[in-house]
Structure 1
Amino acid sequence: MDERTVPLRLDLRGLKCPLPALHARRALERAAPGAAIIVECTDPMAVIDIPHMVRQDGHLLDGQETEGDVLVFRLRKAG
């Protein structure tokens, strides 16, 4: 298995805007093309910030859901 098949999981719970989006952006920048990243956070602004950052940078938002008070985003690096 490689980093494209095993998602990197970022636990960003407790961080406030804009930190979840900034950490997710940094992880995407460092990832190989096609790599999957799962971001878990609790900041309500992340539902706006993370999808916007993903679109702005040209990556893919494979999905987003809420598990209790945790927002979960499935991201994929473009390329």
Structure 2
Amino acid sequence: MDAVPDLDARGMNCPLPLLKLKQRLNQMEVGDRIHVKTTDPGSVRDFAAFAQQVGHIIHEQDHRNGEYLFLIEKLA
């Protein structure tokens, strides 16, 4: 099994974390997953809305030590 790639968007403010995620997802295949780290609280709302609109799945979401952590699967 291949390692899940990381996207480090810490220190970026809205809308950059979402834009970076979209860029990476465009390079990925359906079924691939990516770990995303951000420090922008708006990412929780932005990623959820984006995933719902496009059809991706957020498998994990956590908030630790000022960081927001996501595991997202590309489905569309």
TM value normalised by structure 2: 0.91
Asked whether 1:14 is paired with 2:21, we answer: no
Q: Which sits farther off after the overlay, 11-20 or 47-56?
A: 47-56
Q: Number of residue pairs matched?
A: 76
2:73 corresponding residue in structure 1: 76
What is the CA distance between 1:54 and its match in structure 2? Answer: 1.3
2:28 corresponding residue in structure 1: 31
Amino acid in structure 2 at the alignment position of 1:28: L
Runs of 4+ in 1 over 3 A off after TM superposition: none
Asked whether 1:65 is paired with 2:69, we answer: no
Q: Supply the distance in 1 between the matched residues of 2:67 and 2:23 (Cα, whole angstroms).
A: 21
1:41 corresponding residue in structure 2: 38
Amino acid in structure 2 at the alignment position of 1:29: N
Amino acid in structure 2 at the alignment position of 1:13: R
TM value normalised by structure 1: 0.88
Point out where structure 1 has 5 or more consecutive residues left out of the alignment. none
Q: Percent identity?
A: 34
What is the CA distance between 1:26 and its match in structure 2? Answer: 1.4
Amino acid in structure 2 at the alignment position of 1:44: P
Point out where structure 2 has 5 or more consecutive residues left out of the alignment. none
Q: Which sits farther off after the overlay, 33-42 or 49-58?
A: 49-58
